[in-house]
Amino acid sequence: MSAQEQGTSGLPQGVGAKLRAAREAAGLSLGDLAAQSRIRERHLQALEEGDLAALPGRTYALGFAKTFANMVGLDAAAISAETAKELDRLAGAVEAETEAAFAPGDPARVPSSGFAWAAALAVAVAGVGGYVWWQNTSSPAVGLPSLLPSETPSVAPVAAPSAEPSEAPSAEASAQPSGPVVFTAEDDKLWVKFYDGKGQQLLQKLMAKGETYTLPEGVENPQLWTGRPEALSITIGGQAVPKIAEKQKTVKDVPVSAEALLARAATPAPTESASAAATEAAVTKPVVRKPFPRPRRSTAAGDSVPAPQATAASNPSTVSQ
């Protein structure tokens, strides 16, 4: 019996078990297959272990499985079809778990009105306490930007531009991170869905706390859909970048390529301190206009109009001539 016939009959059930048995029978290691196919060894290992959720997406999973089957002498079409069925079962299980998580509660298990009032009161008290704590902790931070330049409560005057600030943007631009984009779940049961610009799904699952997902290279306009962006940390080449959002809310069709994430980090939203500083700087002192001086009118007796000069008729010397 050939290795190809064994791929559909004598080997253990499951795509991963079949691939592993065929590889071991061929005397090959995962490293050998990775070197020949240029597929990362961890992806080949995920195929053998049946961890299809760890692969970049459906298209990649089917392609990896077909290549793996060809290299170990199995029926590539049959292995690809079985992989597609396992992916469909995985997607159905994830969707069912997601729907169960967001489905309305059973009316028979709805708490009584008294319990509901007590819960509402507890939430209100917690909200007031949280607001007071936030005011106490955030108030000093509002005035911090204005204290840094002059170390005084007054607003510092705008300084003339110099050569040093002009060099800072270029230094920051050269220090921008590069490399793979990695997302890490900071909480359990974090539902995420990654897809490209054409809507082709890359990954959809409930991530466990500490689980990571690396965005595949070469994906055109990758995007994210999740309801917990504040629990999803992001790094580019190992360097942390700002999260999509700091509070829980549903975000959809958010570009998550390295370029898009760096652009979001370069244009932060305006803060309250910046708005207050801009408003205070725009206020100017009123201009006090001095009254225009009026001409003084003299009333003294000695200030009289000078007498006109004598005419020729009143000059005796002129008449005698």
Helices 15-25, 41-49: crossing angle, 10 deg rounding: 120
Per the structure, the count of domains in the chain is 2
pLDDT value of position 144:
42
Position 294 scores a pLDDT of 62
Per-range mean pLDDT, top range of 9-13, 116-120, 265-269 = 116-120
Contact 205, 101 (CB under 8 A): no
Specify the range with the lowest mean pLDDT, choosing from 22-36, 65-79, 85-99, 226-240: 85-99
Q: Which of 44-48, 197-201, 292-296 is predicted with the least confidence, judged by mean pLDDT?
A: 292-296
Q: Which of 227, 243, 266 is the last residue of a domain?
A: 266
User: What's the rounded Cα separation, in Å, for the pair 46 and 53?
Assistant: 9
Query: Does residue 187 fall inside a structural domain?
Result: yes
Give the Cα separation of 252 and 42 in Å (integer). 29
Domain's final residue, options 96, 115, 136: 96
The answer to whether residue 28 is domain-embedded is: yes
Task: Give mean pLDDT, residues 139-168.
Answer: 48
Q: Which residue has the higher pLDDT, 6 or 176?
A: 176
Name the residue among 247, 246, 241, 248 with its Cα closest to residue 264. Answer: 241
Tokens 């309801």 belong to: 227
| In-domain check, residue 278 | no
Indicate whether 165 pLDDT > 80.
no
Q: Answer with the residue of higher pLDDT: 257 or 115.
A: 257
CB 18 within 8 A of CB 11: yes
More confident residue, 182 or 309: 182
| pLDDT(298) > 90 | no
Name the band, by pLDDT with cuts 50, 70 and 90, for residue 92.
confident
| pLDDT number for residue 34 | 93
Mean pLDDT lowest among 17-26, 34-43, 147-156: 147-156
- Higher-scoring residue by pLDDT: 128, 32: 32
* Domain of residue 206, residue span: 181-266
Confidence bin at 301 (pLDDT 50/70/90): very low
- Residue 119 has a pLDDT of 79
| 272 assigned to some structural domain | no
Q: How confident is the model at residue 230 (pLDDT cuts 50, 70, 90)?
A: very high
Q: What is the rounded CA–CA span in Å between residue 80 and residue 64?
A: 9
In a domain, 84, yes or no: yes
CATH number at residue 30: 1.10.260.40
Residue 205 within any structural domain of the chain:
yes
How many angstroms separate the CA atoms of 180 and 184, rounded? 13
Q: Which two tokens stand for residue 67?
A: 């290549």
Domain boundary (62, 79, 96) is at 96
Would residue 82 count as lying in a domain? yes
Pairwise pLDDT comparison (268 vs 161), residue with the higher score: 268
Is there a domain that residue 127 lies in? Answer: no
What is the pLDDT, as a whole number, of residue 207?
Answer: 94
9, containing H or E segment: none
Query: Which range among 58-67, 85-94, 232-241 shows the weakest confidence by mean pLDDT?
Result: 85-94
| Residue 246: predicted pLDDT | 93
